[in-house]
Structure 1
């Protein structure tokens, strides 16, 4: 039987991110999550907030994630 996280995740691992005006298509959602988590840990100020916004959308399973509110 499936567990809750497996049901919540989309079937496609492909995800599109838009951060600071730069659009990028990732073939693996986990790679994108790792990238934006590292950005959050190493950058300060507005750039950190942008990375955090995209990261939160990624962990919630959105297929298109943007730093715009």
Structure 2
């Protein structure tokens, strides 16, 4: 039963990590857009940093659940 829970949690964290990656990339593109207003670009840069932190957290949690599911 724990193996199933860990597998489900692994998938959940992997999907969440992928969502954070997509958001990070979108925010990076806005931050680089010279046609966007400066405040928008700055906010997108800060949001990209937050997304990167979220991405790393989800990926770490996914790795933990993946290893736990193996045992």
TM-score, normalising length: structure 1? 0.48
Greater strand share, structure number: 1
Of the two structures, which has the highest relative contact order with CA contacts closer than 8 Å and spacing of 6 or more?
2
TM-score, normalising length: structure 2? 0.47
